[in-house]
Amino acid sequence: MVDIFIEHGLLLTMKGEGVGPIEDGAVAIEDGRIVEVGKTHRLKQRYRGAEWVLDARGKAVLPGLVDAHIHTSLSLLRGEAQDVPEIEWMLKTLAPFMKYFTREHRIAGAALGVLEAIKAGTTCIGEVGSDLEEITRRIYLPSGVRACIAPLINEIGPDSRPDPYKPYIFYPE
């Protein structure tokens, strides 16, 4: 018996022979995993007695979204670099905070970032950063989110960074 049965929705599929839209579609979910997708009339006969039946008439049922470039580990610093020109935000705004930003801060930020991603329907992320092995083990794997991870590699010339820990002055006199 399935736990969740979503019926009568406009499904957008990404896998199998029916890639694309399925009108009046259904999704059968068991133990948190999709077990079958297809037309409502066909699946309804096979999956009777679901604990939770959702009527998706007038709604689209989408696969998980993909965010190909995210820095979940920096979620706690969100908003610190608003209104700052492109490259300057790294050197003059984030760098002073990074001096005090610990591994535990990055892990907590990753937890927040993953929760926000899942809440928004994002189930696959492309993450660039540091401490990714530990973040993957402690945050990504338990959450069920798919993560394509890469270590942060960044080269900025010494002329562009005279003092990376000096705060950026937003409105110079």
Backbone φ and ψ of 89, nearest 5°: -65, -35
> What is the model's pLDDT at position 22?
93
Q: In the predicted model, what is the mean pLDDT of the chain?
A: 86
Task: Report pTM.
Answer: 0.70
pLDDT band at 166 (very low <50, low <70, confident <90, very high): low
Check: CB of residue 15 under 8 Å from CB of residue 34. Answer: no
38-53 pLDDT, tens digit per residue, is 999 999 999 988 999 9
63-95 pLDDT, tens digit per residue, is 889 999 999 999 998 888 778 777 777 777 787
Look up residue 85 and give its two tokens.
Answer: 């020109």
User: Is 83 exposed, middle or buried (CB count within 10 Å of its CB: 0-12, 13-18, 19+)?
Assistant: exposed
Give 151 or 159, the one with higher predicted confidence. Answer: 151
DSSP, residue by residue, 95-159: HHHHTT--HHHHHHHHHHHHHHHHHTTEEEEEEEESSHHHHIIIIIHHHT-EEEEEE------GG
Give 106 or 171, the one with higher predicted confidence. Answer: 106
Give 97 or 91, the one with higher predicted confidence. Answer: 97
pLDDT band at 159 (very low <50, low <70, confident <90, very high): low
Q: How many helices (H) and strands (E) does the chain have?
A: 6, 8
Domains detected in the chain? 4-61 (2.30.40.10), 65-160 (no CATH)
